[in-house]
A and B are shown apart, each in its own frame.
Chain A
Amino acid sequence: MTETTAVTDLLALHETMAVIRRTEKAAHDLFMSGLVKGTTHLAAGHEAVAVGARAALRDGDYAFATYRGHHHAIAWGATPEECLAELMQRSTGLNKGKGGSMHLTKAATGMLGSYAIVGAHLPMAAGAAWSARLRGTDQVAVAFFGDGATNIGAFHEALNLAAVWRLPVLFVCENNFYMEYTPIGSVTAAEQPAAGRAPSYGLPAEVVDGNDVVAVRNAVARAAERARAGDGPTVLEARTYRHYGHSRTDPATYRPEGELERWLERDPLTVSSIRLRSAGTRDVEIQAAEDRAAAVVDAAVATARAGPPADLREAFTDVWADGGAAWRTTS
């Protein structure tokens, strides 16, 4: 992958980011109107990390995400309609209504799940990379995680195992500077919570502008190239910011005044628009891409909302590989 980007490619990335942004806004609005229950952890502001990473990778490369994972699911090919249907407990949902916002999964395209126990999926990604090596493919696996995950044991166990086995895995931290409600700096001595720990595992690391989709794409491309060449894992720390609070119930009042506004000036869509314009794209073309994204999500909301409720029989399927849930013999 070259470091320059064709305008048409960049416009496509911009449109995908706009689809994610619109989907997150729709999820927020549907929650406020009572059509989405439980909780949501919205990724508005993080779009460039997922979209940039996917753009650098190949079909069949694996992704493992967190409970803040709508953007990864969509970047890996889940449609806004199946995501929103899942949030609205429809049988047409991505996970048949059995997962919800925190567990969006699109296994058919290699997006192998969103996990809601912090850090648990990093060893899984290492395992998927190990599997790729054992099967002799050149697939890579990516684990996306937050800055808060860098203080849990699974992060450290995964980095060490992946390093010593030289696995084709990328550890991509979305550092949004808050561990839930708490500034990451107040609970982490390392200034760079992910990249700063990498050297102790003998791993290369890079801090990247997580609001610049091209910067992310190029950094992930470099890391993936190393991984496919047999040179092992890389830790990437993408600095970004979430526009909403941690979860649905968090108004994020702990953020200093003006901080959100300063980050909004570097919104991933703004950064992308500036780059597009400087590459000669006309405003009307950018607007057209954003309008297409809005239309897709508007239609998705309507279709998802009209979908049938979760099929009651599904409560007792999919425990076992045979499709059932039997735990005992019957006389």
Chain B
Amino acid sequence: MADHVVTYRESVAEGIAREMRRDPSVVCLGEDIGAAGGVFKTTVGLFEEFGPERVWDTPISEQAIVGAAMGAAMTGMRPVAEIMFSDFLACCWDYLANEIPKVRYMTGGQVTVPLVIRTANGGGLGFGAQHSQAVENWVFTVPGLKIAAPSTPSDVVGLLASAIRSDDPVVFFEHKGLLAGKGAPAPDGHVVPFGEAAVRREGGDVTLVALASTVPLALAAADRLAAEGVAAEVLDLRTLIPLDVAAVLRSLERTSRLVVVEENPYQGGWGGTIVSVVADEGFELLDAPVKRVAGANVPLPFADALEDQVIPTVDKVADAVRSLATY
């Protein structure tokens, strides 16, 4: 079974199912997640295995979904709420900006909110401006929320385990462009701790910091650059909060060059925070300016050719690295 592979999509359902089997307080709610198995088929099989008392279809009411999850989390449950497209987080933004991240703090630690909000994030599938945006940076602006964004099927399972077991609220970004992707299945009991970036490829010339969809992008760019004699190291952050800046700085000790590859817009994107920490704490490590390959500061267009213009591509990453290699 060494060549057995699974999809990222089915790993979502597998990761949730593993936690539901081990902990009866884990329940799911969201639109079309029950018998329909989710519009992205990421909850297939859960309703059949766990039944209607643990897998709940909701109305199209994002505030009710996330607000009810919060109330349940404060009273002994571990809800896993699905917001179908991450763009729709805007429909329940009060809960992500004002309620869930603040309630523990403003009550002086009287309550905990162990919930997960799963959502399909990012572009590449031609869904147009209101169903394609990479919005992990929205959540990144709010102190009090943890953020995971896996790039491999195995990490989907391992990070879901950490997310659901966490006593803190977690926003879990599943990238739409990766759902059909395949990889090795997660071993039994697989848990990926938060705040531990993974080195996906070692290299001594430049560090590519990536997340979710930009990890395979960075790896493809690294392949191309290797043919040109440039050895790129690819670091998969896996979680944005906690942010493993220590891993970034360790990598820069070897490479001295940094390119951040992020799908969310350049304006306010998480790469800005990486770069600011590096400028503050790792300035002496650098031999070249830092580069950010990010989404453009425009809404996402529909046509594939137009979308390619505004989101990171292998070409853009390779070009950014070349500009540093010759610096």
Q: Spell out A's residues near B (CB within 8 Å).
A: 62, 64, 93-99, 103, 105-108, 112-113, 115, 117, 120-132, 134-135, 141, 153-154, 157-158, 160-161, 164-165, 314, 317-323, 325-331
Contact = CB atoms under 8 A, between A and B. Distances in A.
Contact of B106 (A99, A112, A120, A132): A99
A92 to B, nearest CB: 11
A128 B107 contact: no
Given A117-B99, A161-B61, A320-B168, A103 B106 contact: yes
Interface stretch (B41-49, B71-79, B200-208, B216-224): B71-79
Contacts of B158: none
Interface of B: 27, 53, 56, 58-59, 61, 63-64, 66-77, 79, 94-95, 98-99, 103-112, 114, 143-144, 166-168, 195, 241-247, 249-250, 277, 281
Q: Which 8 A-B pairs have the closest CB atoms?
A: A123-B67, A127-B71, A321-B167, A127-B68, A96-B108, A124-B71, A157-B64, A318-B109
Given A94-B108, A319-B105, 19 more contacts: A95-B106, A98-B107, A108-B110, A112-B74, A113-B107, A117-B99, A123-B68, A123-B95, A124-B68, A124-B70, A127-B68, A131-B76, A154-B63, A157-B64, A160-B59, A321-B112, A327-B241, A328-B241, A329-B195
Find the residue from A129, A319, A330 having the highest chain B CB count within 10 A.
Answer: A319
Contacts of A326: 242
Contacts, number: 175
Nearest to B77: A131
B75 to A, nearest CB: 4
B246 A120 contact: no
25 contacts: A98-B108, A103-B106, A105-B111, A107-B107, A112-B74, A120-B99, A124-B70, A124-B99, A127-B67, A130-B68, A130-B77, A131-B71, A134-B72, A141-B71, A158-B64, A158-B67, A164-B59, A318-B109, A319-B144, A320-B104, A321-B112, A325-B143, A328-B244, A328-B245, A331-B246
Contacts of A128: 71-72, 74-75
Contact of B77 (A99, A135, A314, A330): A135
Contacts of B70: 123-124, 127
B168 A157 contact: no
Given A95-B108, A321-B168, A327-B242, A154 B64 contact: yes
A112 B113 CA distance: 12
Contacts of B167: 320-322
Contact of A154 (B53, B58, B67, B281): B67
Nearest to B277: A328
B108 A127 contact: no
A132 B75 contact: yes
Contacts of B247: 329
A112 B75 contact: yes
A331 B250 contact: yes
A131 B25 CA distance: 9
Contacts of A321: 104, 112, 114, 166-168
A33 B53 CA distance: 54
A107 B111 contact: yes
Given A120-B95, A120-B98, A135-B77, A98 B106 contact: yes
Contact of A331 (B95, B106, B111, B281): B281
B241 to A, nearest CB: 6
B69 A127 contact: yes
A283 B168 CA distance: 53
A93 B71 CA distance: 24
Contacts of A160: 59, 61, 64
Nearest to A169: B71
Contacts of A108: 110
- Count chain A CB atoms within 10 A of each CB in B59, B63, B71, B95 and give the residue with the most: B71
Nearest to A165: B56
Contacts of B109: 96, 317-318, 323
A313 to B, nearest CB: 12
A158 B94 CA distance: 15
Contacts of B99: 115, 117, 120, 124
A103 B77 contact: no
B271 to A, nearest CB: 14
A193 to B, nearest CB: 19
A129 B74 CA distance: 11
Given A117-B98, A128-B71, A123 B66 contact: yes
Contacts of A94: 108
Residue picked from B75, B106, B195, most chain A C-beta under 10 Å: B75
Nearest to A330: B246
A325 B27 CA distance: 27
A124 B281 CA distance: 41
Q: Which of A141, A164, A329 has the most CB of B within 10 A?
A: A329
